[in-house]
């Protein structure tokens, strides 16, 4: 049991004891006052004279006799009502505290669910990115093969690519263009076949970028894609060649 719960239980017990004390005292005073009234009538007034009193005199006597008791119970009722109000206020405060804790717990759960969902999307993206990366490398391979079909290095690049080196063909494209062995337009759009491969590469890479943006609001995945070998090939395909 927490300290807060213990404190609330102790406070409730104190209030109940205080209420019992007031009620017991008031009942005792009431019984004592009535006994004094009976004794007074028996010894001083006499029951025969008392019952023969006229209505106005009898009413005045009873009014004077019961006025202190009425005042006593009015005061007791006031204190009991205050106690009840305090208990109601405490109950409302406890309910508000419980609602606040429930809201905090719901917020924590919502953040946890959102984090799990984001992690799931990122995990799905990374698996998809591997497949798309292989597709992009294959497209680069067809572009290189279409232009350098007669060179023996192409077969070596295919061997490396099939063994899991997905950057083999993209790096070859980057190396050839930076070495001025071929122009961008000639390599990417020199024939209808290579132009079709280039458009497929651009479309697939842009879809990959869009998927990265949806699952990474910080932009780290998108930045990594743009700075990687496929991203550099994408920029060479879409940006004009430097003068």
**pLDDT at residue 6, as a whole number:** 45
Rounded distance between C-alpha atoms, residue 15 and residue 128, angstroms:
66
**Mean pLDDT (whole number) for 51-56:** 69
At 64, is the pLDDT very low, low, confident or very high (cuts 50, 70, 90)? confident
Rounded distance between C-alpha atoms, residue 238 and residue 21, angstroms:
90
Tokens of 75: 């005061």
At 234, is the pLDDT very low, low, confident or very high (cuts 50, 70, 90)? very high
At 202, is the pLDDT very low, low, confident or very high (cuts 50, 70, 90)? very high
Rounded distance between C-alpha atoms, residue 170 and residue 142, angstroms:
11
Report whether 157 contacts 144 (CB < 8 A).
yes
Helical axes 55-147 vs 3-40, angle rounded to 10°: 170
Highest mean predicted confidence (pLDDT) among 25-29, 107-111, 191-195, 220-224: 191-195
Q: Which of 94, 181, 176, 179 is nearest to 140 (CA)?
A: 176
């Amino acid at each position: 049991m927490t300290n807060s719960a213990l404190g609330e239980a102790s406070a409730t017990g104190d209030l109940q004891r205080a209420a019992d004390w007031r009620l017991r005292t008031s009942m005792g005073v009431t019984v004592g006052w009535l006994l004094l009234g009976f004794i007074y009538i028996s010894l001083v007034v006499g029951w025969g004279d008392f019952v023969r009193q006229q209505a106005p005199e009898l009413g005045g006597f009873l009014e004077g006799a019961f006025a202190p008791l009425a005042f006593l119970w009015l005061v007791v009722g006031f204190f009991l009502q205050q106690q009840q109000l305090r208990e109601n206020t405490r109950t409302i405060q406890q309910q508000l505290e419980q609602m606040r804790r429930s809201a905090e717990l719901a917020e924590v759960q919502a953040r946890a669910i959102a984090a799990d969902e984001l992690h799931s999307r990122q995990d799905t993206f990374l698996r998809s990115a591997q497949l798309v990366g292989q597709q992009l490398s294959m497209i680069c391979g067809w572009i290189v093969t279409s232009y350098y079909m007669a060179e023996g290095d192409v077969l070596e690049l295919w061997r490396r690519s099939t063994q899991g080196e997905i950057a083999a063909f993209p790096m070859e494209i980057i190396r050839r263009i930076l070495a001025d062995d071929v122009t961008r337009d000639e390599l990417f759009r020199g024939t209808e076949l290579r132009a079709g491969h280039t458009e497929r590469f651009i479309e697939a890479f842009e879809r990959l970028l869009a998927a990265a943006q949806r699952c990474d609001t910080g932009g780290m995945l998108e930045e990594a894609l743009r700075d990687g070998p496929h991203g550099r090939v994408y920029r060479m395909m879409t940006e004009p060649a430097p003068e």
